[in-house]
Chains A and B, each alone.
Chain A
Amino acid sequence: MKRCFLLLLGIHLTLLSYSQQNIISGIVVSKSLGIPLSGVSITSPSKSVTTDSIGKFSIMTKIGESLSFSFIGMKSMKIDIKSFSILKIELSDDLVNLNEVVVTGYQVQRKIDLTGAVSIVKTSDISNIPASNLITSLQGRIPGVFIEADGRPNGGQRRLLIRGLSTLGNTNPLFVIDGVSTLNQQTFQNIDPSLIESLQVLKDAAAGSIYGARASNGVIIVTTKQGKEKMQIRLNTSYGIDAFTDKLPVLNVMERGRALWQAAINDKINPAQNAPLYSYVSHLDPNGVAILDQVIPVPWIGGLESLKTPGANTDWQDVIFHNGTIKSTELNVSVAGKHSSGLFGFSYLDNQGIMSYMQFQKYSGRVNTSFSFLNDKVKIGENMQISYTRNTPDRTDLGGSDLVNLSRFEQPILPVYLTDGSWSGPIGAGFSDRNNPLHMLTIYKDNVDKTMNLFGNIYAEAKPIKDLLIRSSIGLDYSDGYNFAMFPNFSTGFLSRTINSLKIDQSHRFNWVWSTTANYTKTFGLHNLNLLVGTEALKNDYITLGAIKEGFAIEDINYYVLGAGTGNQTNSGDQTGNQLLSYFSKLNYNYSDKYILAFTVRQDGSSRFGLNNQFGIFPSASAGWRLKNESFFKKIDMLSNFKLRAGWGVVGNQEIGDESSYGVYATNYGTLSGGRRNIGSAYDIRGVNGSTLPSGYTQVRRGNPDLKWESTTETNIGADFGFLNEKIFGSFDYFNRRTTDILITPPYVATIGAGASQVQNGATVDNKGFEFTFGYRDNTQSGLAYSIGFNVGAFRDQVIYIPLSVISGYPGNIEKTILGHSPQEMFGYIVQGLFQTSDEVLASATQAGKGIGRIRFKDLNGDGKIDPLDQTWLGNQLPKAEFGMNIGLNYKGFDFMLFAQGIYGRMVNNGIKSQTDFLNTGMNNGTRLLNAWTPQNTTSTIPMLSNANSNNENRMSSYYVESGDYLKIRSAELGYTLPQKIAERAHLTTLRVFVLGTNLFTIFNKSGSNAYTAQDPSLPGSIYPQPRNVTFGLNVTF
C-alpha cells in the first residue's frame, strides 16, 4: 500500500512538471560511424530521457535551457535550446574520461592520478542481482579478490580474500562506507546495490596504507549516491524463483538394503544381524559367492504396527528442498536545489530460501542530504542508512546435527509422518539418534534472528581559505540483535524433549568513529600539490545478554515470553570493546599530468595490543608515469592511454580479539555448557545439591604484553593501457608482499593447562602474484554496441619463516612443517588404491585395520608401518588463479549481459565423500557406494563396504582431495528498454524490463583421477547449496 502511494506521488510530481513546457525532438548519431545511437541519455534541467532504438528522442524543455547528451564511450555534449526545430546531434568518440574520480581514502582523486592498485567495480553490473548481499554479487568481478559464499537466503557464510590469505584470524577487508570504516560485513551487505555511486577496492599497501593498521586484508570503499540536480524517482522491482539443483544422489530404500547386505557379507556376518530394518532372500552361486535375490524392507519400523511407523521410501531432499522465491523492491527519490540535495531510498527484500521454513527479509531506508551555505563555503550533511533484517537461524536437531546434512542422509525407510498423521522419528534398532529433519524445521519455524542496524555519518565541510578543505565527520555503526529461539517438547520414536524452553539472546554493538581531515590543494604552474592531514578516533563496544527459561505450559509462539515460563532460568552476558587512535597524512604531487607521486604515513594506536607495542607506523610511497602524455608517445595514435605505476607500503592487521593481549581469568558457572563437557569453575563442595554453587575462576588466556601488529610490506608494479581510443583497455599489476608477525593463537602443550592459550606474533608469509584485466568494446554500423571483458588474478603464497612457538597452529607434523608451503595446504596420507589380495595385505606395511578391499595408505618414510609420519602435503585450498569474464551487448533497446567466473588450480577437501562412499549403519549414504569394491568388482576405487571403519578411512588423505576447478555462469541478464514514446505515454522517463538468471550452470571436472565427486566444487562439504535463480524485473524512472 505504502509503495503504491509513493508511486502515485511520483507520477503526480512528474505530471506537474509538464505544465509550461514544449517538446523538442531529434536524433543522435555517431560522428565517426554515422549511425544512430540508441540509449543516449539526454538531460534537461528538469528531465531526462534516452534515445530509442533508431536514435530518436523527444524531451520537454524551454527556450534558453540547455540539454546535455551523454553516452558511454562518447564525448558528452551540451547545447542551448534556441528553437524547437528538430535536432541532429553528432557525438564523437571519447573513451577516455579523464576526469572520472574515485574515492581513495579521506579524499577524492582523479582516476588517472592513481598510483596504487585500485579496482573499480562497475556498479551497474551488480545493481539488479537479487542476491541478498553485495558480496555474492562481487564474486569474480575484481581480479585478485576471492569470494566464497553458500546459498543461504541471507547471503550465506562468506569468505572474502583480497590477494590471498595471510592471517589466520579474521580475513574480512575493511569496509569504508561514505567515509565511515567498519569491519562488520553485515553493514556492507545491507547497502542497496542501486544506491551505490562507486565501489573501489584498494588492494595494495600503497593504496591501503592510509588506513594503516586495518588495511592488510584490503579495503573496500563504497560511496553512496547523493541527490542529483533534477528530481528523479527510480523504482526497481523484481521477482525471482530459486530452484534447488544440487541434489546429491543418495540411496533409496531398496538400494540401502542392498548396501547393508553387501557390507554384512563383506564383514562375514549374518546380514539379518546387520540390518534390523530389512530381511533378505539370497543364495550361493556355484563359486560360493552369496547372491542377493530380494531385499525386503520391514513393513513396520520398530516391528509393531501399533507404533504406526510404516516402512517408507522417503526422498528427504525432495521433502526439505523446494523452489524458493525472492521478491525485491527498491524505491529511490533524488532531489537537489541550488544549495541542497537529498536522496531518499527505501528497499525491501524477501528471500524464501529453498529449504523449508527458511527466510530472510530485509527492510532498509537511506537518507543522504547536504546543505551548503555561506556562498557554498560551508557544507553540512549526513548519510544515514537504517536497516532491519529478519533471518531464520541455522537449526539443528536434538543431538545438534546440522539439518542440511540430515536432509541428505536421513534414512529413506523412515516416513515423514506416522499413519495417524503425526511426525515420525527413529524407533527401534537400525537408526542413528537423529530426528526427522522436516519435523525439526517445522517446530523451529518461528525462531528468528532480528537485527536493526543504523549506519552513517554526519559531516561538515568548510573552505575557510582558498584551496583548503576541512572536513569533520562523525560516523556511527549501531546494531541491535535479537535472537528468539523456542524449543518445544516433542516425542517421536526414541527421541524426545520433555522440558521446553525459550532462549533469547540480545546484542548491542555501538561503534563510533570521528575523523577530521584538512586537504590543501595548490597549483603552481605545472606543479599540482595536494596535502592531506587527518586524525581519527574510533571506539567499538559490544555487549551481549542471554536468557534461557524453561517450562512453558502452552506451546504457542504468543505464550513464549521469558516471564511465562515456570522452570529453571539462566542468564548470560558478556562485553568487549576496543579503541583506535590515529594520525595520518598524505601528499600527492603531479607534474604536468605526467609524473605523479604520492606519500602516505599513518600512525595507529590500538587498545588491542600489548602496552609495549600499542602504536604502529604505516608508511607508503608510490609513483606514476603517464607515458601517453610524453611527447614521444603522443604521436602513437593507436595508443590512447599508457601509465606505469609503482608503489611500496606497509599495512597492518589487528584482527584479534579485543582482549587478546591480556592474561585473564573468568568465572564459568556452567550456564554455557550446553550439556556437553563442562569446563566450569563451580562445584557443589558442600554436597547439598539444589542450591547455588560456590564458583572459582578459570584461566581464559595467558597475556602477551609484547603483542603487536601483524604487518604486510608490499611492492606493487602496474600499468594501465588503452588502444584505439580505448576500444581496447586494460591494466596489469604485479605484487610482492611479505607479511610478518602473523597473529595466531597456536595450540599448546596440554601440560600448560586449559585456558592457557596465548595470542602470538609468529610466521612470515610471502605472497607474489599478478592481476590482469582486459576489455574490448565497440559499436557496429548496425547499431550493436558490444563489450567483452576478462580478468584474472593469481598468486602463490609461501611460509618463509616460522618460529617454533607457533608451528602447531599450522598443518604438518614433527618432521614436515609448513615452512615453504602455503598456509592453506592440506596435509594427510597418500592413498595407493585398495588392497586386492591377501598377499598384498600381508606384504604391506603395518597398518591397523588393513585388509582386502580397504584403502592402502602409502608408507612414505618406508619404516614398515603406517603412522602419522607418513603424512604429506596434499594440495592447496586456495586457487592458483581466479578469473572472470563478461560479455555485454546493446542493440536497439535490448541489452544483454553474461558473466562467468571460475577458478583454476584449487584442491578441495570433499568431506562429504565420507558419507557418499562409506556405509553408516544408522544414516543414509550416497549412491556412489553401490559401486564399491567387491571381490567381483575389483576395479572400483571405492573401498569395500563394511559395517565398521576399522581402517580409519575418515583420516585426512588424498582420497578426499579433489579438484576444485570450475567455471560457473554466474549471471546472464536480458533487458529491454521501452522506446521513449511508449514510455512517455505512461508518463515515465524510462522503463526497462529484464530477466536475469544467476548461478545458471557449472562446468567442473567430473571424471578422471582428479574428479570432483559431489555437486558443486565451489562449496565443498555439506553446506547450504546455492540455488539456481531466475528473476524478472522492472527498472522504472520518473
Chain B
Amino acid sequence: MKKYQILFLLTFFLTLFSCSKSFLDYTPKGKVSDDQLNTTVNVDGMCIAAYASLGNDDWSVPFVHTWPWGSVRGGDAYKGGGSVGDQGWIDNMEKFNLVTVDIASINTLWIALYEGIARANDAIQRINKLSATEYPNKNIRLGEMRFIRGHFHFLLKTIFKNIPYIDDVVTQNERGKVDNSTLTDIQLWNKIEADFQFAIDNLPVSQSDVGRANKMSATAYFAKVNLYKAYEQDKNNQITAINTTTLNKVIAACDVVINSGKYSLESDFGNNWLYPFSENNKESVFSVQYSINDGTTNGRLNMSSALNYNMASTYGCCSFHAPSQNLVNSFKTDINGLPLPDTYNDLSMKDSIDFWTNGVDPRLDHTVGVPTHPFKYMPTFIAQKTWQRVPAIYGQFTPMKEIAQYTSPAFKKVGAFFGSATNWAIIKYDEVLLWKAEALIELGRENEALPIINLVRARAAASIGMLKYSNGNLVANYRCKPYVDGTNITWSNVNARKALRHERRLEFAMEGQYFFDLVRWGVASQQINQYFSVEKTRVPNLASAKFTLGRDEYLPIPINQITLTAGLLKQNPNW
C-alpha cells in the first residue's frame, strides 16, 4: 500500500511544479515583428506595400478614379445607380447642400489616404536605419517613398485643404498629435512640393521596374503641385493671387518632362483606357499598376469604378457615374470644328440625329456611352437607352473610360460588380502639356500656349479610327479642328483661358478631375451653380442642389477625426 501512496504523492508534486514560466512563451504565428523588418529585403517589401496602397481603394472610397469627388461634383456626371438613395452619400456630394460632417464615406476616404502616407513613412523610417552601403538603393527608395507620400498628401490637400501633414520625423505614436492649423496653406504646399523635389533629386530618369516613380514622374507631379499652389487662396477658399514665380516653376518642370523625349501622345486617345494599349504606354507618366491572374482571388483590380458598369447583359450592374447632359453638350463643335464654350449648353444633344446635325468632338465617343453608338470600340455592341438603370432620373448616357471591354482579359466579374486590371494613369502626358499651357496663359504668354493646345486637339481629331460601325461608317459627325489665331478665333488672353479650360474638360472628362480644376481656378461656386440652374430643368432630381461659396470647395474634416483628436483638428471654414 505504501508504495502507491508514495507514487501518488510523487505524481502530485511532480505535476505541481513541472510547469515553469517558459510554458507561457508564445511567438505570434505567420507574422513578423517590427525589428525583423529592418533588413534590406524586407525594407524593399515595405516599399512594395507602400506602392500597393496606391491602388487600395474600391467604390466605397474611390481615390484612384476619383469620380464621386471630381466628376459628380464637377458636373461631368450624375450619381447614377438604382435610385436617388442608392449610395446616398454620392447623392449628397452631387447636391452639395446635403453634405454633412459625419458622412461615413468622407471619413473612410480620409482614413484610406492616411494609410498610404503611413505606409510610405514606415518604409522611410526603416530605410533610414540602413546605410547606403548596406542598402545601395537607399536614396532611390527614399525618393520613391516620398513620391508616394506626396501623392497622398496631394489628394488630401485638394479634397480637404486643411490637413495634418505627416512626415517620417514624427514617430507613429505621435502622429495623432499633429494638427491641421499650424501650417499655412502655402507652407502645406511647400511640404508637399519638397517631397517631389527630393524625389527629383534622387530618382533616375528611368527605372527597370516600370511601376516605380522616376525622376520624370516626380517632375511632372512637381509641376502639378506648383500649378495648384500658384492659385493662392485665403482662409475662405477664395483666390487672392496667382503667383507668377510658382507658375514659372510649373513651366520649367513641364519642360523637363517634355524635353526628356520619354513621352508622347498616343496616336489614338482611346488607347489610354483600352487594354492592352493602356499599359504603361508612351503617354503614361505615372500609373497605378493593376494585375489579374496574379495568384490573388480576384486579381489586384481597379475596384474604384466597380459600380460604374452599365446594365447591358454582358455587364449588368450598377450604372453609376452617369454622364450629364451638360457634359455631352460640351463636346459639341461649331462649323469650324471648334468647341462652343459659351453656348454649348443652350441646346441638348440627345437623340441619334443630334450627333449628326451638330459637330462632335471625337473624344465624346471615347468618354460617354451614347445610345445607338457602338460601345467601347465594339462595333456590334450598340449602346442602349436601357443601359442606364433609371433613365427617368439619370438620363441615358453611361460612362466609358473606366469600363473594360467585356471581352478583355483585364475584365473580371467580382460578385455583382466588376473590376478591371487596366492600369489607371495618375498623370498622362497630355495633362503635362495642358499644365504648361495653363501656366503660360496665366502668365500672359498665351501665344506659346496655342500650339500646345492644338497638339492635344490634333490628336483628338485623329482619334476616330475606332469610332466606327461594323460597316466602317463613322458613328457621328466628328469635327475637331485646331485654333488658328485671326482665322477662327481671336487668341486673346481671355479667349485662350476659356479655350484651355474647355479643352481640359473635354480631355479629362469623367476622370474625376473637373471639380478640382474649378476650385483651383476659383470659379467653382459660379460654374457649379450655373450648371445646376440649367441642369435641374432637365433632371428634377437636382432641383434642391446648391453650392455654397466659401464652404463647398472642400469637404469637411470628418467629425470622427475631430472627435478622435479631442478637437485638435479644426473644422474647415463654414462647416
A548 touches B297 (CB 8 A): yes
Contact with A along B380-415 (1 / 0, CB 8 A): 000000100111110000000000000000100111
Complex CA gap A665/B32 in Å reads: 5
- Asked if B334 CB lies within 8 Å of chain A CBs, one says no
B51 touches A683 (CB 8 A): yes
B48 touches A576 (CB 8 A): no
A687 touches B279 (CB 8 A): yes
Instruction: Chain A residues near B4: list those with CB within 8 A.
Output: 374, 377-378, 462, 464
Complex CA gap A702/B173 in Å reads: 9
- Asked if A614 CB lies within 8 Å of chain B CBs, one says yes
B55 touches A922 (CB 8 A): no
- Asked if B9 CB lies within 8 Å of chain A CBs, one says yes
- Pick the most buried of B19, B32, B290: most chain A CB atoms within 10 A of its CB: B19
Name B49's contact: one of A432, A663, A698 (CB within 8 Å).
A698
- Asked if B1 CB lies within 8 Å of chain A CBs, one says yes
With both beta carbons as reference points, the residue of chain B lying nearest to A699 in the complex is identified as B122
A684 → B minimal CB distance (Å): 4
A304 → B minimal CB distance (Å): 10
Name A756's contact: one of B21, B85, B118, B301 (CB within 8 Å).
B118
Complex CA gap A606/B26 in Å reads: 10
Instruction: Chain B residues near A868: list those with CB within 8 A.
Output: 101-102, 559, 563
With both beta carbons as reference points, the residue of chain B lying nearest to A543 in the complex is identified as B29
A665 touches B33 (CB 8 A): yes
Complex CA gap A873/B565 in Å reads: 21
Complex CA gap A665/B45 in Å reads: 12
28 A/B residue pairs, CB under 8 Å, sorted by A:
A270-B392, A464-B8, A499-B413, A514-B15, A579-B24, A579-B26, A581-B23, A607-B26, A659-B31, A670-B294, A684-B294, A687-B289, A689-B290, A695-B48, A749-B561, A750-B110, A751-B114, A751-B117, A752-B173, A752-B176, A754-B111, A754-B112, A754-B114, A848-B98, A868-B102, A947-B393, A948-B83, A949-B88
- Asked if B453 CB lies within 8 Å of chain A CBs, one says no
Complex CA gap A1011/B107 in Å reads: 34
Complex CA gap A677/B562 in Å reads: 24
- Asked if A682 CB lies within 8 Å of chain B CBs, one says yes
- Pick the most buried of B11, B30, B410: most chain A CB atoms within 10 A of its CB: B30
Stretch binding the partner chain, chosen from B207-215, B479-487, B523-531: B207-215
- Asked if B99 CB lies within 8 Å of chain A CBs, one says yes
- Asked if B423 CB lies within 8 Å of chain A CBs, one says yes
Stretch binding the partner chain, chosen from B258-266, B312-320, B349-357, B457-465: B312-320
A685 touches B12 (CB 8 A): no
B421 touches A689 (CB 8 A): yes
Name B24's contact: one of A614, A678, A687 (CB within 8 Å).
A614
B50 → A minimal CB distance (Å): 7
With both beta carbons as reference points, the residue of chain A lying nearest to B33 in the complex is identified as A664
- Asked if B416 CB lies within 8 Å of chain A CBs, one says yes
Instruction: Chain A residues near B295: list those with CB within 8 A.
Output: 570, 669, 692-693
- Asked if B234 CB lies within 8 Å of chain A CBs, one says no
B106 → A minimal CB distance (Å): 11
Interface residues of A in 561-607 (CB under 8 A from B): 568, 570, 573-581, 583, 605-607
B83 touches A920 (CB 8 A): yes
- Asked if A16 CB lies within 8 Å of chain B CBs, one says no
With both beta carbons as reference points, the residue of chain B lying nearest to A676 in the complex is identified as B58
Instruction: Chain B residues near A378: list those with CB within 8 A.
Output: 4, 8
- Pick the most buried of A274, A684, A703, A804: most chain B CB atoms within 10 A of its CB: A684
A814 → B minimal CB distance (Å): 5
- Asked if B172 CB lies within 8 Å of chain A CBs, one says yes
Contacts A465-B5, A685-B209, A687-B209; is A432 near B82 (CB within 8 Å)?
yes
B303 touches A675 (CB 8 A): yes
- Asked if A691 CB lies within 8 Å of chain B CBs, one says yes
Interface residues of B in 73-105 (CB under 8 A from A): 82-86, 88, 91-92, 95, 97-102
Contacts A669-B295, A922-B82, A950-B98; is A678 near B26 (CB within 8 Å)?
no
Interface residues of B in 487-507 (CB under 8 A from A): none
A752 touches B294 (CB 8 A): no
Complex CA gap A754/B111 in Å reads: 8
Contacts A399-B415, A678-B300, A950-B98; is A516 near B15 (CB within 8 Å)?
yes
A690 touches B392 (CB 8 A): no
Name A670's contact: one of B24, B300, B389 (CB within 8 Å).
B300
Contacts A472-B15, A665-B31; is A754 near B84 (CB within 8 Å)?
no
Contact with B along A172-214 (1 / 0, CB 8 A): 0000000000000000000000000000000000000000000
B12 touches A804 (CB 8 A): no
Complex CA gap A574/B28 in Å reads: 10
The 10 closest A-B pairs by CB, nearest first: A753-B118, A696-B49, A273-B392, A921-B83, A675-B414, A696-B45, A670-B296, A948-B84, A754-B115, A664-B31
Stretch binding the partner chain, chosen from A93-101, A490-498, A836-844: A490-498
Contact with A along B276-292 (1 / 0, CB 8 A): 00011000000101111
- Asked if A444 CB lies within 8 Å of chain B CBs, one says no
- Asked if A45 CB lies within 8 Å of chain B CBs, one says no
With both beta carbons as reference points, the residue of chain B lying nearest to A950 in the complex is identified as B98
Instruction: Chain B residues near A579: list those with CB within 8 A.
Output: 23-26
Complex CA gap A270/B392 in Å reads: 9
Complex CA gap A1032/B540 in Å reads: 62
A691 touches B52 (CB 8 A): no
Complex CA gap A482/B31 in Å reads: 25
Name B294's contact: one of A614, A679, A692 (CB within 8 Å).
A692
B428 → A minimal CB distance (Å): 16
- Asked if B325 CB lies within 8 Å of chain A CBs, one says no
Interface residues of A in 455-494 (CB under 8 A from B): 462, 464-465, 470, 472, 494
Instruction: Chain B residues near A679: list those with CB within 8 A.
Output: 56, 115
A462 touches B24 (CB 8 A): no
- Pick the most buried of A269, A464, A749, A922: most chain B CB atoms within 10 A of its CB: A749
A685 touches B29 (CB 8 A): no
A568 touches B293 (CB 8 A): yes
Q: Add 17 more A-B contacts to A675-B417, A677-B303 (CB < 8 A).
A: A274-B393, A374-B4, A430-B390, A495-B317, A495-B416, A548-B297, A575-B30, A669-B295, A674-B297, A676-B58, A682-B296, A687-B211, A751-B175, A754-B111, A849-B97, A921-B82, A949-B88
A374 touches B100 (CB 8 A): no
B118 touches A754 (CB 8 A): yes
Contacts A750-B114, A947-B85, A948-B541; is A494 near B311 (CB within 8 Å)?
yes
- Asked if B430 CB lies within 8 Å of chain A CBs, one says no
- Asked if A2 CB lies within 8 Å of chain B CBs, one says no
Complex CA gap A920/B86 in Å reads: 9
Interface residues of B in 204-252 (CB under 8 A from A): 209-212
- Asked if A952 CB lies within 8 Å of chain B CBs, one says yes
Contact with B along A138-177 (1 / 0, CB 8 A): 0000000000000000000000000000000000000000
B516 → A minimal CB distance (Å): 21
With both beta carbons as reference points, the residue of chain A lying nearest to B296 in the complex is identified as A670
B7 → A minimal CB distance (Å): 8
B82 touches A433 (CB 8 A): yes
Instruction: Chain A residues near B50: list those with CB within 8 A.
Output: 696
- Asked if A697 CB lies within 8 Å of chain B CBs, one says yes
With both beta carbons as reference points, the residue of chain B lying nearest to A514 in the complex is identified as B15
B564 touches A574 (CB 8 A): no
Contacts A693-B294, A753-B114; is A272 near B392 (CB within 8 Å)?
yes
B31 touches A687 (CB 8 A): no
Contacts A581-B23, A614-B24; is A673 near B296 (CB within 8 Å)?
yes
A700 touches B31 (CB 8 A): yes
Complex CA gap A36/B232 in Å reads: 102
A429 touches B386 (CB 8 A): yes
- Asked if A862 CB lies within 8 Å of chain B CBs, one says no
- Asked if B363 CB lies within 8 Å of chain A CBs, one says no
B555 → A minimal CB distance (Å): 14
- Asked if B164 CB lies within 8 Å of chain A CBs, one says yes
- Asked if A666 CB lies within 8 Å of chain B CBs, one says yes
A580 → B minimal CB distance (Å): 8
Instruction: Chain A residues near B111: list those with CB within 8 A.
Output: 750, 754
Complex CA gap A575/B30 in Å reads: 7
